[in-house]
Chain A
Amino acid sequence: MPPIVQVSDLAVAFPGAGDGWRRVVDGVSLTVEEGEVVGLVGESGCGKTLTALALFGLVPEPSRVVAGTVRVGGEDVLAADEKRLSALRGGVAGLVFQEPAQALNPVRSIGFQVSEAARLHLKLPGERTDELVPKLLAEVGLEDPAALARAYPHQLSGGQRQRVLLASALSANPRLLVADEPTSALDTVSQQHMVELLEKLRERRQLSVLFISHDLALVGRLADRVTVLYAGETVEVAAREALLDDPRHPYTRALMQSQLRVEGGGSQRLPTVPGTVPRAGEWGRACRFAPRCPVAFERCRAARPALTGLENGRQVRCFLASDAEEPDGKG
């Protein structure tokens, strides 16, 4: 079976000064196999959200996809017309965003919003949606679904809103769920509950999931495979345990070392990564992590390593793992 998501060498650019385009995503590759949960990890400005939007043909104006391929559920997203894209959005793939407060319409009832995709894609008549909504709300673990369907977003807590969004993303029975930072506005206890819920839904619905987060530990809870982004490009891809046990890219190692555990008793310094995440599009033509990398050498500051396949489906973009170089003359 072909992968449900296949992104290769994606580049998204904003119009820059003069007639140039400034690439803010440049070199993202990503696959999600049917039935698989893939974690997409990266920090602010690394291109996570634009990548997620590109899957739905939703890259916001004035930015646009300037290179690469994007296939979702067999559809060539970059070539598809609006009609095919709307079949994709909510139909083949559901999307959940970080900020549940912003993603819900404040003047529409929860029931109306949860059933929107079902009405659009499944063409359900009114009485059938009336049955569907409470089922969906119960499925995402919300209590008293019948009453909740009549409530409005402001009457809900953050955790409840996030579950409502999830219910609405699932209402047309998509095969793929894309969840962009679904837990980062939640406290740790709600984070745990959300991840447990996603595990359950994935099992029950045979869902493929793209789980996007800045939190590697959280991704490690849920994902079968992890794709790590840094500065607009994919730097490492590996099965979860292979990645956590033996991270190969220095950035992945830095992320692992920055993870906190429940330990200590006060006044203990934290491990740090020197420097800052480069601003989108300001990353030059050499290795983008080189300025912060503890093991960078001369070549890293002169050329850009290529994302290279190693054993067991692992891919790494680092000269210490492979000699392969990106052909220059891009961007």
Chain B
Amino acid sequence: MGKADGPPILAARHVVRRYPARGGVRWGREREGAPALDGVSLELWPGEILGLIGRSGSGKSTLARVLLGLETPDEGEVTFDGRPLGSLSDPEQRRLRREVQVVFQDPHASLDPRQSVGGILAEPLAVHRLVPRGERRSRGKLLLGEVGLPTDDEVLDRLPRALSGGERQRVALARALASGPRALILDEPVSALDVSVRGQVLNVLLDLCERAGLAMLLIAHDMRLVARLCGRVAVMAAGRVVEEGPTRGVLESPAHSATLELLEAARWLSEPPRAETARSPGEHSADR
């Protein structure tokens, strides 16, 4: 997968990340002293869609923050284009900020409620000095088109609260695209969306990946999503990557119990019990 083209865009090597244990916690998800990341290695290659799947608390989001340079690993290192984050010069730091973008689960929380859509999209253009002030509105419309929103002034002038959940998430995506990234990190990007608009947002992501050659790291807990979108998958459990490989192979012969558990849950949840296995539904069983 593009390995001949040079180094991975982002890579974690033997990353350990510990949080101070909270006093007296007996019932927390993590056992006291267990690191949030416990020797994680992962590579994101140009143009690929990599799924990072695991249960709540398995370390997925911590790994995302470490890859983005928002947290520093206690051990191991993270590289951007093969260079350790710690050794990046200021211009390289800015290039990382421009070329690796992130979209979070809840567009409610990640969009400034007081800023119009136009303002939200103009900010990265201004910060990275990509587009002169006078052209930012027209660039904003182009970005709206990229994510399948109407490209008119009316949308640019709206505040986030005047958008539906799916529209908000597409604005968050348009903002992430504004700086012309090579990689997107998507942390549960559709789990807050309605089922009937989820497909629209995910298809936009696939289009972007194919058209612009964007690499994507898709963080999810639902194997159904990863199976559909990702060519490669890494499974996390208790702060480690416990299985990794082409999605098809992992689905066919899961090797680790954590993978199996996620697979079985996804299958169980999407297959309603049939008459012969269903428990007595009372008088309404005759309703068919």
Interface, chain A (partner B; CB < 8 A): 33, 35-37, 43-44, 147-148, 151, 155-160, 186-192, 195, 199, 203, 214-218, 220-221, 224-225, 238-242, 244-245, 254-255, 258-273, 276-277, 279, 292, 312-314
Name the residue of chain B whose CB is nearest to the CB of A254: B196
B4 at the interface (CB under 8 A from A): no
A188–B196 contact, CB under 8 A? no
B202 at the interface (CB under 8 A from A): yes
Name the residue of chain B whose CB is nearest to the CB of A203: B279
* Residue numbers in B under 8 Å from A269 (CB-CB): 199, 203, 206
For the complex of A and B, the 7 pairs showing the least CB-CB separation, nearest first, are A239-B287, A266-B231, A220-B272, A224-B281, A270-B199, A260-B224, A265-B248
- Tell whether A188 pairs with B206 under 8 Å between CB atoms, given A148-B27, A218-B269, A267-B231: no
B288–A151 contact, CB under 8 A? no
* A314 contact from B209, B248, B262, B287, Cβ within 8 A: B287
Distance between A286 CB and nearest chain B CB, rounded to angstroms? 19
A265–B246 contact, CB under 8 A? yes
B288–A242 contact, CB under 8 A? yes
B195–A272 contact, CB under 8 A? no
| Complex: A35 Cα to B203 Cα, angstroms | 42
- Tell whether A261 pairs with B224 under 8 Å between CB atoms, given A187-B55, A217-B270, A254-B196: yes
Q: A33-B283, A261-B270, A265-B246 are in contact. List 14 more A-B contacts (CB 8 A).
A: A36-B281, A43-B196, A44-B194, A155-B26, A157-B56, A188-B269, A217-B270, A224-B281, A260-B227, A264-B227, A265-B231, A266-B228, A268-B228, A314-B287
Chain B interface SS verdict (over half): helix
* B251 contact from A157, A255, A265, Cβ within 8 A: A265
B229–A191 contact, CB under 8 A? no
B38 at the interface (CB under 8 A from A): no
- Tell whether A224 pairs with B284 under 8 Å between CB atoms, given A191-B265, A265-B227, A270-B198: yes
- Tell whether A214 pairs with B194 under 8 Å between CB atoms, given A268-B229, A270-B199, A270-B202: yes
Distance between A210 CB and nearest chain B CB, rounded to angstroms? 14
Distance between B284 CB and nearest chain A CB, rounded to angstroms? 5
B255 at the interface (CB under 8 A from A): no
B288–A241 contact, CB under 8 A? yes
Interface, chain B (partner A; CB < 8 A): 24-29, 49, 55-57, 164-167, 194-200, 202-203, 206, 209-210, 221-225, 227-232, 246-248, 251, 261-275, 278-279, 281-288
| Complex: A155 Cα to B56 Cα, angstroms | 15
* Residue numbers in B under 8 Å from A195 (CB-CB): 269
* Residue numbers in A under 8 Å from B56 (CB-CB): 157-159, 186-187, 190
* Residue numbers in A under 8 Å from B223 (CB-CB): 188, 262
* Residue numbers in B under 8 Å from A266 (CB-CB): 49, 228-232, 247-248
| Complex: A266 Cα to B224 Cα, angstroms | 11
Distance between B273 CB and nearest chain A CB, rounded to angstroms? 7
17 A-B pairs with C-beta separation under 8 A:
A43-B196, A151-B26, A157-B29, A188-B262, A188-B265, A199-B279, A215-B195, A254-B196, A255-B196, A259-B270, A265-B231, A266-B230, A267-B231, A269-B206, A272-B199, A273-B199, A277-B197
* Residue numbers in B under 8 Å from A244 (CB-CB): 272
Name the residue of chain B whose CB is nearest to the CB of A192: B265
| Complex: A269 Cα to B207 Cα, angstroms | 9
| Complex: A226 Cα to B232 Cα, angstroms | 37
B281–A260 contact, CB under 8 A? no
* Residue numbers in A under 8 Å from B230 (CB-CB): 266
* Residue numbers in A under 8 Å from B282 (CB-CB): 33, 35-36, 224
B231–A241 contact, CB under 8 A? no
- Tell whether A258 pairs with B247 under 8 Å between CB atoms, given A155-B28, A160-B27, A186-B56: no
* A276 contact from B197, B262, B278, B279, Cβ within 8 A: B197
| Complex: A159 Cα to B223 Cα, angstroms | 19
B199–A258 contact, CB under 8 A? yes
| Complex: A281 Cα to B89 Cα, angstroms | 54
A157–B199 contact, CB under 8 A? no
| Complex: A242 Cα to B287 Cα, angstroms | 7
* Residue numbers in A under 8 Å from B271 (CB-CB): 217, 261
* A190 contact from B55, B284, B286, Cβ within 8 A: B55
Name the residue of chain B whose CB is nearest to the CB of A187: B221
A221–B272 contact, CB under 8 A? yes
| Complex: A37 Cα to B194 Cα, angstroms | 23
Distance between A212 CB and nearest chain B CB, rounded to angstroms? 14
* B228 contact from A190, A220, A240, A270, Cβ within 8 A: A270
* Residue numbers in A under 8 Å from B209 (CB-CB): 267
Distance between A136 CB and nearest chain B CB, rounded to angstroms? 16
